[in-house]
Amino acid sequence: MNQIRLDKFVAERTEFSRSQIKALVKKGEIRVDGSPARTSDVKIDPEVQRITVQGKDIIFREHTYVLLNKPDGYVCSTDPKDGQTVMELVPPELRTKGMFPAGRLDKDSLGALLLTDDGELAHRILSPKSHIPKIYIVKLDRPFEIKYINLFGEGITLSSGEQCLPARVKPVENCDKLAFIELFEGKYHQVKRMFAAVGNHVEFLMRVSLGGLVLPEKLGIGQCMELLHKDVENLTKPLDFDSFCRDFSVIFSAIVINK
Ligand code: URA
């Protein structure tokens, strides 16, 4: 990698401003390969040099990817004026400047939400053209009807007249009010409006996968984890809907039932 200024590198990966970084350098709290940095504008190569701030390693990576298991009551926005935002749930050491929620879950929806500063990947995941599936589990007000499978498969027309792409939907065995739905697009309130179009009502909605990445069981509601290289690759991989429903229906229906 080309050399870059130390303060630029640290500012992009932490919450410190350039002036705070300057002050940290003065106090000897920023080290390059173990020695206190002389100035904040010194050029470094983060791929080969070890940078520490207050004793913590600043790992080189171009972008940061965080998976949040979004709780109810938070808005997918970076603007605090919108209310309690999902950004508040990202621990400071994982938060980077330019990080944003890649896609939207409603304020009352839960589940897998990617937060990243990689606009290109976010676009790839969200664009219907990329054909990256997102799977949701829903709790319905009234029992699932088998006719939904064909209606959703043909493409639902919403009450606004908007046409949805064909989607797959499957009831959870032995729970007639729970179902999985797979979408390749993300219209406003889409899942809720699709079920409303067939005369039902979504009481609870949780996104359980993004591309080939399944919401890990160990990631509690409201918790975040940094995605590693391998997990990021999974985001753009397809996932077989039938196998997913077979393998994960017990885990996710238990989460919904116990909510
Ligand atoms: N569809 C909805 O209706 N709400 C969400 O939060 C996500 C998809």
pLDDT tens digits, residue range 13-43? 787 899 999 999 999 999 999 999 999 999 9
Q: Which 8-state DSSP code applies to residue 14? A: S
Residue at token pair 């209606």: 151
pLDDT level of residue 233 (50, 70, 90 thresholds):
confident
pLDDT of residue 71: 98
Relative to beta strand 134-140, strand 202-210 is antiparallel
Q: pTM of the prediction?
A: 0.82
Expressed in angstroms and rounded, the spacing between residue 109 Cα and the centre of ligand 1 is 7
Whether ligand 1 lies within 6 angstroms of the CB of 70 is answered as: no
Q: Please, where are the H alpha helices in the chain?
A: 6-13, 18-26, 119-126, 147-154, 190-197, 229-235, 241-257
**Number of Cβ within a 10 Å radius of residue 197:** 17
Expressed in angstroms and rounded, the spacing between residue 191 Cα and the centre of ligand 1 is 5
Expressed in angstroms and rounded, the spacing between residue 113 Cα and the centre of ligand 1 is 12
> Hey, what domains does the chain have and what are their CATH numbers?
4-57 (3.10.290.10), 65-258 (3.30.2350.10)
Percentage above 90 pLDDT, the chain: 80
Whether ligand 1 lies within 6 angstroms of the CB of 209 is answered as: no
From 108, 205, 209, 210, mutation site for ligand 1 pocket: most ligand atoms within 8 A of C-beta: 205
pLDDT of residue 1: 58
